[in-house]
Amino acid sequence: MDVDGNGKISMNEFVKKKWRRFKPELFAELDKNGDGFLDFEEVIVLYYMAKMRNTFCDGCCGQLLKNLYFTCVQCFQKKSSNQTYDLYFTYYQTKQFTHEHKVFLDNYAMLNFMWSDLKKKAEPDDHKAITTIGEGIGVVGDIVQLASDAQQCSTC
């Protein structure tokens, strides 16, 4: 990706790589020091994002979802597919989307749903670990809620 071998990634090099679904606006977000290049630490973040399953808004903006968002439950539960249908809160709230299914949960509620399902299926010895996980989800949920209060899609 570092075409000129200077140890940094320029905007042109970033765009030429054509990262799957990453928009050029992401470059500015990753470039924390604002020097117009992605240095090693900034590229590590990009690499992590490229390798991990990132969630993008399936509404009109296609932006990376960073905080509270809504997921189609039926698409999420499909065992044969790794594809979900996810929306910024604003798109979901104003119904600015077209999708075949009607049941959506926010990402925090989805975690709680998965946790309660896991708890039902667990062996008696597993309940202590699951309770600890559940308490952690509660704390994360509180943080997500605080962060999402100000979250909006920049195109909305």
What per-residue confidence (pLDDT) applies to 32? 87
Q: How far apart are CA 108 and CA 16, in angstroms?
A: 36
Alpha-carbon Rg for the chain, nearest whole angstrom, is 19
Q: How far apart are CA 23 and CA 149, in angstroms?
A: 25
The percent helix, strand, coil of the chain (3-state, each to 5) is 50, 10, 40
What per-residue confidence (pLDDT) applies to 51? 66
For the chain, give every domain's residue range: 9-51, 69-148
What per-residue confidence (pLDDT) applies to 146? 41
- Which residues of the chain carry a pLDDT beneath 50? 130, 133-134, 136-152
Pairing of strands 69-72, 86-88: antiparallel
Over residues 45-54, the pLDDT tens digits come to 877 776 666 6
Q: How far apart are CA 154 and CA 139, in angstroms?
A: 27
What per-residue confidence (pLDDT) applies to 138? 47
User: Model pTM?
Assistant: 0.50
Q: How far apart are CA 8 and CA 14, in angstroms?
A: 10
The three-state (H, E, C) secondary structure of 45-92, written as one string: HHHHHHHCCCCECCCCCCCECCCCEEEEHHHHHCCCCCCCCEEEHHHH
Over residues 107-139, the pLDDT tens digits come to 788 777 777 777 677 665 555 554 554 454 444
CA-based nearest residue to 69, from 116, 94, 105: 105
Phi-psi region of 34 (alpha: psi -120 to 50; beta: other; left: phi over 0): left
What per-residue confidence (pLDDT) applies to 17? 66
